[in-house]
């Protein structure tokens, strides 16, 4: 289906409205987490590394109800309804894809990298993204073709916020190789050996200096450093701001990345398959493998879109040559 810039604007404003509704609930849970019994606060999904709280459920219920009332012809995909066993499928219809609290483990432990992620796809393409961290009062917003912004929740993003990346209006700095990059990655909640072992190996090789112990033809990255924020949305927003250079992860779902994809792209970055496949947006969203590269200029300082993409794809190819080819199920 087609849409206008004005319609995208209205969808973006609605997503910001949803973030404003959800923020106080998340903040209440974060600040009051020590007043509740820990056993009552956590609802296990059968995996002690994969948590859900009553606050996740409250936020998703509120957001879903608001979408059902205001956007009656739109579809909805949410982390907690999916976790509860509700079937979902990404179609070409306008679809709101929501993670009510990304970084639930951070939330439980009081680590402030926590956010609601609200994305909208049309024709399976992410076109609107809003990510709000109420603990730090960081609101990230973007709509396709309209730029990405960081503001506070009570500010007009385009009038009072900061354009992303944070280097703006100066060109984003070059990114010659992984050896000059700050790389983000996560171990994730799936700790089965067939998943965690190749992830650990990939992170080791991204940071290692010596390839002598590797199989012939395998490379190492010797990255400046490896960081983990415990939240896909917060890792992606660090890339959008230009704080992280690269983010690689296998195991995320569409609600973890949908909003972030829009914001990263509008900040000059790219998001591709994490392990080397050529995919369209629908396949990217549902593939559970993601590689995010920040905006940059060419190695010679060329700021053209062609030079930027060439420099980014050079990093992509370098990462693909290093990481393990992981395939995670949709179930």
Residues marked active site are found at 79, 99, 101-102, 104, 256
Distance CA 9, CA 26 (A): 25
Q: Which of 251, 245, 241 is nearest to 223 (CA)?
A: 245
Question: In this structure, what token pair is assigned to residue 38?
Answer: 């820990």
Angle among Cα 82, 83, 84 to the nearest 5 degrees reads 90
Burial class (CB in 10 A: 0-12, 13-18, 19+), 7: middle
Dihedral sign (CA 297, 314, 252, 67): positive
CB neighbourhood size of 300 (10 A):
8
| Nearest-angstrom CA–CA distance, 103 and 278 | 29
What DSSP letter does each residue of 210-255 carry, written as one string?
Answer: --TTSPTT------SEEE--S-HHHHHHHHHHTS-SEEEEES--HH
Q: Give the strands of the sheet with 225-227, arranged side by side.
A: 225-227, 182-185, 246-250, 289-293, 270-273
Could you tell me the sign of the dihedral formed by the alpha carbons of 183, 248, 325, 279, in that order? negative
């Amino acid at each position: 289906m087609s849409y206008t810039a004005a319609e995208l604007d209205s969808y973006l404003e609605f997503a910001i409205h949803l973030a404003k509704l959800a923020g106080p609930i998340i903040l209440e849970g974060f600040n009051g987490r020590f007043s509740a019994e820990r056993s009552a606060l956590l609802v296990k999904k059968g995996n002690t590394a994969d948590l859900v709280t009553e606050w996740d459920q409250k936020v998703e219920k509120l957001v879903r109800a608001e979408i059902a009332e205001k956007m009656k012809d739109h579809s909805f995909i949410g982390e907690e309804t999916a976790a509860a066993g509700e079937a979902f499928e990404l179609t070409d219809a306008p679809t709101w894809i929501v993670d009510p609290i990304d970084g639930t483990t951070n939330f439980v432990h009081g680590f402030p990298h926590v956010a609601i992620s609200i994305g909208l796809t049309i024709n399976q393409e992410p076109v609107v993204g809003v990510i709000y961290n109420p603990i730090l009062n960081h609101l990230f917003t973007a709509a396709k073709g309209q730029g990405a912004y960081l503001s506070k929740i009570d500010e007009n993003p385009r009038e009072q916020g900061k354009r992303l990346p944070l280097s703006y209006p100066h060109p984003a700095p070059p990114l010659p190789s992984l050896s000059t990059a700050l790389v983000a990655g996560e171990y994730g909640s799936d700790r089965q050996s067939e998943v965690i072992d190749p992830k650990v190996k990939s992170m080791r090789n991204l940071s290692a200096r010596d390839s002598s112990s590797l199989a012939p033809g395998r490379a190492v990255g010797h990255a400046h450093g490896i960081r983990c924020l415990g939240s896909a949305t917060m890792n992606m927003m660090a890339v959008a701001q230009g704080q992280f250079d690269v983010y690689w992860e296998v195991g995320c779902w569409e609600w973890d990345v949908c909003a972030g994809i829009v914001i990263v792209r509008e900040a000059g970055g790219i998001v591709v398959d994490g392990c080397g496949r050529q995919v369209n947006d629908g396949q990217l969203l549902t593939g559970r493998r993601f590689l995010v590269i920040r905006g940059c200029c060419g190695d010679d300082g060329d700021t053209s879109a062609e030079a930027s993409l060439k420099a980014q794809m050079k990093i992509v190819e370098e990462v693909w040559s290093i990481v393990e080819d992981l395939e995670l199920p949709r179930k």
